[in-house]
Each structure stands twice: as C-alpha cells, then as structure tokens.
C-alpha cells in the first residue's frame, strides 16, 4: 500500500505503531512496484522459483522429489459428488492448478488452460479386513506420493478418495511444487471445505474473488527483478556467501553420496512447556524471536559436531510480501541461507 519495503529488523527497532509510521515516512529505500493483473493468454513467463524447478525436472524428468502430498482423514458421511465439484471449483478459481509448462525457442513458459470437468477417482477398500484395509490404504498413499507429474501435459494436481468404511474416508491430494507450496496446501484445504459445505447445503460459496493470479506475480517478478535491482540482489548474496564452506563436515556413520538422493526422514520432537516458556523469555529479553533463539542453538550444535565456526543453515520464508498473494495457490516459498560465524569464546546470549 505504501510502496515501501522494510527489513524485518524494523519491527524490532520500531515496535509501536507511531515508531513504525515514522520509519515508513522516513524510508528512502526503492519503491516496490504494485502487483497488477495482466493478460493470461498465450505463453507466460515463469517465476524465478518455477524456472529452477522446471530446469531440475528437465534433468530428472521422472523424479517425484518435488511432489507435495497430503492425506486427509475424513470422518462421517462424505458426499462424493459434492467433493468432486469442490475440486472442480477450486481448479477453476486458481489458474495455477490448470497450468502446464512448455519450452519455446529454448525458453520455458507457462500456459493456462480453460477449466474442465474434474474426475475424482474412488477406491473402495471397505470390504477388506481391517488390517489389510490399513495396509492397502498406506500402499495407495505411498504410490500416489511417488508418482511423478508431467509438467508439459498436466494436470499438476491429483486427488483420490479412498473409502475405508461407510463413515471413514482418506482423501489423497498431491500437487507439484512448481504450482504450490506449504502455505498453498492450507489455502486448498480451507477453500475445499468452503466449496464442499456450499454444495452439500445447496448454498452459494462465499469466497471473495481473487485480486490476482500466480501468473500475474510471475510477470511482476520478472519486470521488477531486472537491471540494477537484480544486480543489487546478486551482489548482496555474493558478499554474504563469499568464502562459505561448500559443505558441513558432520561426522557420519556412512559416507555422503556423490549425488543427493533425497532419501531422508522427519523426526518430530516435543519441547516441554517449561523449556518452551524459558526459550520465549530468553528471546524476549534479548530482543529476538523464539526462532532466532532456536536457530542460534542449532548452529552452535552444528558447529560443535562439525568443528567448524562458519555455519550456514537454510530456512524457508513464505515469500508472500504482497497482500494480494496471501490467498493464492502457487509457488512463493523461498529458501534463505542464514550464515553465522561462531566465536567459540562467545556466550550463548552474545550469539
């Protein structure tokens, strides 16, 4: 609204509305252009993030590493036709879900297709014994998660409904990362629920029209990040990462493979309430966020294990700096490198 981009630290340095207003008035930073809607006909540019994933797909076309799967447990009666219509309406609402990617004169472009009828496959496992039913549902979910997408032909959203019982279903939803991210999955679930409720009750969905589409953002980004603006960004990251170690030499029980395999696991850790409260108190006392305190602890741990004092950690950011993008399904998330030089003589508070 103000056409000004402030760094995150401005919120800590100007913690009141009055102080922040003064910061905005005194800002001399570059004006960020507004995000307007554009024509969506023909070949459209990719965002920088999309181009990166498109290139990776060209190198490994059958790789499913960038699939974003989720399995939603549905309890109670499910109106299958209403659910199918909800998907159909969602795809009509979000152009990213009916986009394909092609190559023209050596350059990638995206093409938006007109809305079509949506098919919702139904797999009925309700007649199987309980143990076999659970095993088969897990097998179906795993197979769906590992099935690659075809960026050139689409669709880049898939949905399958698995019937486990009369009042128990499993909804498998998978999107390719090139048209989605973690935030988008939340948008999808909320809007799916709104459409489904409307169709089961015979009412009209009350979702507000989207001000822009993802292709508008991609065009805006290409027009903004060029020339001096792009050069400044590149030079900044060159300075930030100059001389950074190529890898973190952690002691491992197996040698690091020459090519990243993407075979890993997630480990859930619950932090006790007293530790969580102490962490929040420490962060507040130091004028930091709990994330900053946890990051410092994590980097200290990595430094001790690797015997390196130059540690870089990647962390995702939403990348939705314009209010118009908050309700979109699309690939906005970006991974930032947070590099720290840890002085072994420093206290944790100093870090």
Give residue for tokens 């960004």: 233
Q: Contact 186/136 with Cβ under 8 angstroms?
A: no
Q: Are 139 and 216 in contact (CB under 8 A)?
A: no
Q: Is 173 exposed, middle or buried (0-12, 13-18, 19+ CB in 10 A)?
A: buried
Please enumerate in sequence order all residues whose Cβ is within 8 A of that of 329, keeping only pairs 6 or more positions apart, or say none: 94, 96, 97, 175, 179, 180, 184, 187, 188, 214
- Predicted TM-score (pTM) of the model is 0.89
Beta carbons of 169 and 163 less than 8 angstroms apart: yes
Burial environment of residue 136 by CB neighbours within 10 A (0 to 12, 13 to 18, 19 or more) = middle
Find where tokens 């056409």 sit: 3
Tokens of residue 250, six digits: 């952690």
Are the C-beta atoms of 213 and 96 separated by less than 8 Å?
yes
Coil, helix or strand for 204?
coil
CB atoms within 10 A of CB 172: 21
- Give one DSSP letter per residue of 6-52, joined into a string: --THHHHHS-SHHHHHHHHHH--SPBPPP------SS-BPPPHHHHH
Specify the pLDDT at position 187.
98
pLDDT confidence of residue 188: 98
Tens digit of each residue's pLDDT (9 = 90 or more) over 108-129: 999 999 999 999 999 999 999 9
Instruction: Output the pLDDT for position 266.
Output: 86
**pLDDT number for residue 28:** 65
The tokens 């092609």 sit on which residue?
102
C-alpha span between 310 and 338 (Å, rounded):
11
Cα(first)–Cα(last) distance of the chain, in Å? 36
For 158-170, b/e burial (b = at least 16 CB within 10 A) is: bbbbbbbeeebbb
pLDDT at 320: 94
Taking phi over 0 as left and psi of -120 to 50 as alpha, with beta for the rest, 27 belongs to beta
pLDDT reported for residue 30:
60
Q: Rounded to whole angstroms, how far apart are CA atoms 302 and 312?
A: 9
Q: For residue 1, what pLDDT is reported?
A: 65
Separation in Å, CA 85 to CA 40, 81, 152, 193: 24, 6, 25, 11
What is the per-residue pLDDT for 86?
98
Look at the chain and count its residues: 351
Q: Residue 19: what pLDDT?
A: 87
Cα separation of 20 and 100, whole Å? 42
**Could you give all domains of the chain from N- to C-terminal order, each with its CATH number?**
1-32 (no CATH), 48-216 (3.30.559.10)
Per DSSP, helices labelled H in the chain are 9-13, 17-26, 48-59, 80-93, 130-146, 182-201, 214-224, 227-241, 273-285, 290-306
Question: In angstroms, rounded to a whole number, what is the distance separating the alpha carbons of residues 188 and 195?
Answer: 10
Residues of the chain with confidence (pLDDT) below 70:
1-3, 28-31
Q: What is the pLDDT of residues 268-311, one digit of tens each?
A: 999 999 999 999 999 999 888 999 999 999 999 999 999 999 99
């Amino acid at each position: 609204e103000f056409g000004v981009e402030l760094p995150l630290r401005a919120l800590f340095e100007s913690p009141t509305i009055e102080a922040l207003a003064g910061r905005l008035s005194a800002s001399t930073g570059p004006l960020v252009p507004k995000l307007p809607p554009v024509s969506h006909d023909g070949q459209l540019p990719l965002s920088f993030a999309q181009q990166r994933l498109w290139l990776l797909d060209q190198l490994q076309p059958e790789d499913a590493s960038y699939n974003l799967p989720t399995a939603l447990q549905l309890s109670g009666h499910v109106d299958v036709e209403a659910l199918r219509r909800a998907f159909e309406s969602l795809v009509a609402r979000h152009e990213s879900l009916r986009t394909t990617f092609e190559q023209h004169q050596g350059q990638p472009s995206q093409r938006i297709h007109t809305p079509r009828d949506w098919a919702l496959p139904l797999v009925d496992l309700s007649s199987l014994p309980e143990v076999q039913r659970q095993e088969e549902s897990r097998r179906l979910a795993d197979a769906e998660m590992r099935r690659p997408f075809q960026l050139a032909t689409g669709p880049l959203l898939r949905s399958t409904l698995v019937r486990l019982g009369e009042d128990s279903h499993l909804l498998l939803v998978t999107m390719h990362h090139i048209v989605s991210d973690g935030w988008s999955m939340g948008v999808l679930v909320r809007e799916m629920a709104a459409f489904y409720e409307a169709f089961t009750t015979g009412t009209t969905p009350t979702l507000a029209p989207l001000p822009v589409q993802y292709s508008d953002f991609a065009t805006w980004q290409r027009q903004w990040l060029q020339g001096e603006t792009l050069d400044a960004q590149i030079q900044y990251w060159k300075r930030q990462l100059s001389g950074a170690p190529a890898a973190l030499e952690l002691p491992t029980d197996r040698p690091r493979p020459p090519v990243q395999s993407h075979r890993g696991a997630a480990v859930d850790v619950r932090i006790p309430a007293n530790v969580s409260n102490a962490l929040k108190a420490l962060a507040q006392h130091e004028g930091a966020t709990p994330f900053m305190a946890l990051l410092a602890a994590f980097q200290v741990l990595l430094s001790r294990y690797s015997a390196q004092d130059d540690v870089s950690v990647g962390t995702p950011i939403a990348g939705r700096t314009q209010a118009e993008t908050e309700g979109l399904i699309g690939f906005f998330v970006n991974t930032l490198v947070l590099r720290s030089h840890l002085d072994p003589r420093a206290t944790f508070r100093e870090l």
